[in-house]
Amino acid sequence: MDCRKFLELISEAVDDRLQSDLKHQFSHHANICLPCRNEYEVDRITKSIVRATVHRREVPSELYYAVLTEVQKSQSSQRSWLEVIFGEAFLNPAVALVALIMVAVGAVSLLQRENAVPISADKNIIAQSINNFSATMAGVLKPTFISHDPGDVKDYLAKDTPFEVDVAALSGCDWCGGVLSSFNGVKLAHVVYKIGGEGLLYVYQVDINEAMHGTRISLPENAKASLAKTGWYFEQTPDKCNVVLWKHKNTLCAAVSMIEREKMVALLSEKGPW
């Protein structure tokens, strides 16, 4: 089988409608011809994602992360899945396609079986936030819902949180994602923003009463004092991560990123209410 014939048959192969001898020739060619195999994979992935999203607006996370894992393997450097999809690395057509489909459907909810948020050993909210930021960068903390519309992410998280989730249209934000978890029985919401040109901004969110007066999670006294007095608290880690805490209605938010503190505060201050 030559490339031209192979390309003609892709659609039927994706739908598994090839006769057994043709199927054999088809898979033989796929095994020896990388460009054709890529074409086939792209079609196969498109169909399965479109099928999944059109009916349910959901992508099986096994498929989604399987694609990304393959792409990561094919690249020499170890990168976060976020960087792979949304960074400059639009090299692989399959990945570019997944991203395009996400744009097209607006929002993608990922079905995940395993815990998408690492469990912290530390009760301290600031320590947890910094750890979660690192986990986000490393691809360990994975949003279960991603959208270009912050309102969608807010709706997704709000369904299961006892506090007012703060998800805003930050300027320069390409997309954002959300995931829920709990710590010592306290509900937590996590929001990840991709700010064009600036990188990732992670925001930890929890009920303000738990944060200020609870025993299951904790905040350092100086942070509590600053929040009570000014509504803000700032900290910088030795490796130049900036931490910004603020109150949003009955919610304590802790943002962490590598963005400069002034820029971060400007971003977070100008956000409109949702």
Applying CB under 5 A, which residues contact Zn ion?
A: 3, 33, 36
Please state the closest distance from residue 35 (CB atom) to Zn ion, in A: 6
Phi, psi at 116, each rounded to 5°: -90, -5
Please state the closest distance from residue 8 (CB atom) to Zn ion, in A: 11
Residues 6+ away with beta carbon under 8 Å from 195: 170, 172, 173, 174, 201, 257, 259, 267
| Residue among 36 and 253 whose Cβ is closer to Zn ion | 36
| Residue among 3 and 228 whose Cβ is closer to Zn ion | 3
User: How far, in Å, CA of 162 to CA of 27, rounded?
Assistant: 52
User: How far, in Å, CA of 84 to CA of 106, rounded?
Assistant: 19
Please state the closest distance from residue 32 (CB atom) to Zn ion, in A: 8
Residue by residue, DSSP assigns 145-207 as EEES-HHHHHHHHHTT-SS-------TTEEEEEEEEEEETTEEEEEEEEEETTTEEEEEEEEE
Please state the closest distance from residue 6 (CB atom) to Zn ion, in A: 5
User: How far, in Å, CA of 43 to CA of 23, rounded?
Assistant: 16
| Residue among 22 and 33 whose Cβ is closer to Zn ion | 33
| Residue among 5 and 216 whose Cβ is closer to Zn ion | 5
| Residue among 36 and 125 whose Cβ is closer to Zn ion | 36
Please state the closest distance from residue 92 (CB atom) to Zn ion, in A: 18
